Amino acid sequence: MIIGAFSNAALAVAVPYYAGVSLNAVLAGNQSDVIVNATIGLILSQFVRGCLQLMRNLCAETFSQRVERDVRDELYASLLGKSMAFHDMQPVGEIMARVTNDVREMNLMMNPGMNLIIGSGFFLIVPLFVAPTIYPSLILLPAVFLTLYFFAQYRFVRTLNPIAQQVRSTFGDMNAHLAETLDGLQVVKGAAREEQEIQRFNLLVGKVRGFFIKQGYIEARYISFLLLSMLTILGLIHAIYLYELGLIDEGKIVTFLGLLFLYQFPVYSSLRSLSQVALGYAGAGRILSIINAQTDLDQNQSGKTATITGRITFENVSFGYTDNNPSLQNISFTVEPGQTVAIVGQTGSGKSTITKLINRSYDVDSGKVLVDGVDVREWNLASLRSQISIIEQDIFLFSRSVADNIRFGKQVATQAEVEDVARKAQAHEFIESFSEGYDTVVGQRGVTLSGGQRQRIAIARAFLTDPPILILDDSTSAIDSATEDRIQQAIWAASKGRTTILITARLSQIRWADHIVVLRKGRVVAQGKHEELLASSDSYRRIFARYEESQPQSDTVQG
Q: Is residue 511 part of a domain?
A: no
| Claim to verify: residue 279 and residue 410 sit in the same structural domain | no
Nearest to 342 by CA among 110, 91, 530: 530
CATH number at residue 135: 1.20.1560.10
Q: Is residue 546 part of a domain?
A: no
- Using CA atoms, how far apart are residues 468 and 474, in angstroms rounded to an integer? 19
Q: In this structure, are residues 407 and 413 in contact, taking their beta carbons and an 8 Å threshold?
A: yes
Per-residue pLDDT of the chain (559 residues; tens, 9 = 90+): 899 999 999 999 999 999 999 999 998 886 788 999 999 999 999 999 999 999 999 999 999 999 999 999 999 988 887 877 787 777 877 888 888 888 999 999 999 999 999 999 999 999 999 999 999 999 999 999 999 999 999 999 899 888 988 988 898 888 888 888 887 777 888 888 888 889 989 999 999 999 999 988 988 888 999 999 999 999 999 999 999 999 999 999 999 999 999 999 999 998 889 888 988 988 899 899 888 887 666 677 788 899 999 999 999 999 988 777 889 999 999 999 989 899 988 888 888 899 889 988 888 999 999 999 999 999 998 889 888 888 877 778 888 899 999 998 788 889 999 999 898 888 898 899 988 899 998 876 666 787 778 888 888 888 888 889 988 887 665 566 666 666 676 667 666 778 999 887 777 778 778 899 999 888 999 999 888 888 888 888 877 666 555 554 444 333 3
| Claim to verify: residue 271 and residue 403 sit in the same structural domain | no
Q: Is residue 510 part of a domain?
A: no
Which of 443, 466, 489 terminates a domain? The answer is 466
Q: Is residue 234 part of a domain?
A: yes
Strand order in the sheet with 312-322: 325-335, 312-322, 366-371, 374-375
- Using CA atoms, how far apart are residues 555 and 559, in angstroms rounded to an integer? 6
CATH number at residue 409: 3.40.50.300
What's 379's DSSP letter? Answer: B
Question: Which residues span the domain enclosing 82?
Answer: 2-291
Report helix angle 264-291 to 140-183, nearest 10: 40
Hey, is 333 helix, strand or coil? strand
Q: Is residue 277 part of a domain?
A: yes
| Claim to verify: residue 403 and residue 283 sit in the same structural domain | no
- Using CA atoms, how far apart are residues 53 and 172, in angstroms rounded to an integer? 36
| Claim to verify: residue 274 and residue 396 sit in the same structural domain | no
Q: Is residue 399 part of a domain?
A: yes
Kindly report the length of the chain.
559
The continuous run of DSSP H or E covering 558 comes out as helix 553-558
Q: Is residue 232 part of a domain?
A: yes
- HEC-encoded secondary structure of 511-524: HCCCEEEEEECCEE
Q: Is residue 216 part of a domain?
A: yes
Hey, is 319 helix, strand or coil? strand
Which of 433, 466, 499 terminates a domain? The answer is 466
pTM over 0.85: no
Which residue stretches of 184-292 are H helix? 185-190, 194-220, 224-244, 250-261, 264-291
Which residues, listed in sequence order, are joined to residue 368 by a DSSP beta bridge?
315
Within 10 angstroms of residue 121's Cβ, the number of other Cβ atoms is 16
The structural domain count of the chain equals 2
Which of 466, 497, 529 terminates a domain? The answer is 466
- Using CA atoms, how far apart are residues 469 and 266, in angstroms rounded to an integer? 65
